[in-house]
Structure 1
Amino acid sequence: MRRHGTLIAGWAFALVLIAAFSSLGAWQLRRGAEKQAVLDASARVLAQRSAVPLAAAQDARLSSAYTWAAGPGRFAPAPPVLLDNQQRNGRVGIRVFRVFLPDSGGELLVDLGWLALPGDRTVPAAALAGAPVGQVQVRGLLAPPPSPGLALGEPMSKRAVGSGEAWLATRIDRAAVDGQLGDPQRPLAPRVLRLDPAVPGGFERDLVLLANTLPPEKHRGYAVQWFGLAIAAFVTALILTFRRKRR
């Protein structure tokens, strides 16, 4: 009877492990599929580059979509928003965002590109520049803001940079940006404009998505590992069961 109870307990533990490993594997597969869908959707848009007006950024129904857009306007005199902990080619830096005021439609955050941080993490004064003054024509990829990850603490804090100020952000929080930099009469768009690298001004930039997160193939690789652990747990339980019976 005692052996029978031990056997049941052992299989119960094995089944819990198998279920947990299988669940993690399935989650990794879903994340990989979601990211692959993002890459496929953006690739189609970048292949065509058929521009729509910037006002399309305001459509909340398209907040997760990718659209090529262009239009005139001017950059607001508000301080830039500096998204921290952004990697590029193995280096750590910030991505610089500025509020843009299209001639038609609400306000829009424009991603001006990436700027390296020195070892002491002092924000360079160049972060205050990069946005042209006066009436300009912009174009680029309308995309959802960068993934916030774990949303812990305040999303933005003001920093002195050179002879001016900037907002250092741990994530792009639309409500926080709107509250600090927005115009109540012109609501901030749910999407940001990833500025075309061919447009003058700004900093190092490209239109590569998922630069600071795992690519789909990594998720698929992790899924294989989790499913492998589930199979290993099942095989181990079988081996221990047969050994116990032989004894």
Structure 2
Amino acid sequence: MFRFDWKMTLFVLLLLPVLIRLGYWQLEREAEKRDLQQLYEERQSSAPLPISGVDWSDKDIGWSRIQAEGYYETEYNFLLDNRIQSGQVGYEVLTPFRTDYGVLLINRGWIAAGPRREILPSIETPEDKAVIEATIYIPDGELMMFGEETLSGEQWPKRIQQVHLARMSEALGEKLIPARLRLSAGSAGELSIDWQTVNMQPEVHRGYAIQWFLMAAALVVLFVFFSFRRKEKPNE
């Protein structure tokens, strides 16, 4: 016999839609990641765009390949902290690359951290003029940082926790082209490169969606079980 418990009913009515919505949200994220990977593969298979023909104000140039001629500003490097490759902690090295069309900020790849925190790694940077290829990178969600990071002082390289182009431009004393670029393999200045298009594979989102839907189903089953459970007699 069904026993109505308004507290339990209210709890289920409030929680069930949340669980279902979280499941569908994970499925939406899975679809977004698959679309992003497809776009990346399409644009990586196309010929690189010359920097002279790139419209940096275009919102739809993400993951395009570009080609630029210029030289690295060898005395200026930013070290993006807490980057892990093959289980080892290190940095990603971002170096300004000067061209006739502006200064690009190039992520050259990973480098291992020093033996102690206060010892920064030695960075080899080509000094000669070079032609490089890079991909316009669109971040797929990054950790939120609390408080503003200061890049003051004369010391280089500078350790950073996140890429903030405005503050990095200020530290350099000149404006950077408003885009983040990842160096392509084989280009001058390449370090250890193992680029990932997304920080979480689409299949992982599907797994999370299944978990949320299973929790919703379990909630319904428990609600039905306790609503129809036989009422115990006092002597029981």
TM-score bracket for the superposition, by shorter chain length: 0.7 to 0.9
Equivalenced residue count is 231
Choose 1 or 2 for highest CA Rg: 2
How many percent identity over aligned positions?
27
| Structure 2: unaligned runs, 5 residues or longer | none
Contact map agreement 1:196 1:207 (CA 8 A) in 2? no
Between structures 1 and 2, the one with greater helix share: 1
Map 1:11-26 to 2 at 5 A: 11-26=9-24
After TM superposition, the score normalised by the length of structure 1 is: 0.82
Shift of residue 92, structure 1, vs aligned partner? 1.9
2:131 to 137, 141, 149: 137
- Aligned to 1:60, the other structure's residue is in SS state coil
AA partner of residue 113 (structure 1) = G
- Aligned to 1:126, the other structure's residue is in SS state coil
Shift of residue 159, structure 1, vs aligned partner? 8.6
**In structure 1, how many angstroms separate the alpha carbons of the residues matched to 2:211 and 2:144?**
24
- Report runs of 4+ in structure 1 exceeding 4 Å deviation: 55-58, 156-160, 244-247
Shift of residue 16, structure 1, vs aligned partner? 1.8
User: What residue number does 1:70 align with?
Assistant: 67
Map 1:1-247 to 2 at 5 A: 4=4, 7-48=5-46, 50-55=47-52, 59-62=56-59, 65-104=62-101, 106-118=102-114, 120-127=116-123, 129=124, 131-145=125-139, 147-157=141-151, 165-183=156-174, 187-210=175-198, 213-243=199-229
Task: Call closer, same or farther: CA 1:63–1:169 in 2, change over 3 Å.
Answer: farther
User: What CA RMSD, in Å, does the superposition of the two structures yield over aligned residues?
Assistant: 2.6
Contact map agreement 1:158 1:165 (CA 8 A) in 2? no
Shift of residue 173, structure 1, vs aligned partner? 0.9
AA partner of residue 125 (structure 1) = P
- Aligned to 1:208, the other structure's residue is in SS state coil
Q: Map Cα deviations across residues 220-247 of structure 1 (whole Å, 9 max, x no partner).
A: 1111101110111111111111115798
| Structure 1: unaligned runs, 5 residues or longer | none
**In structure 1, how many angstroms separate the alpha carbons of the residues matched to 2:55 and 2:148?**
25
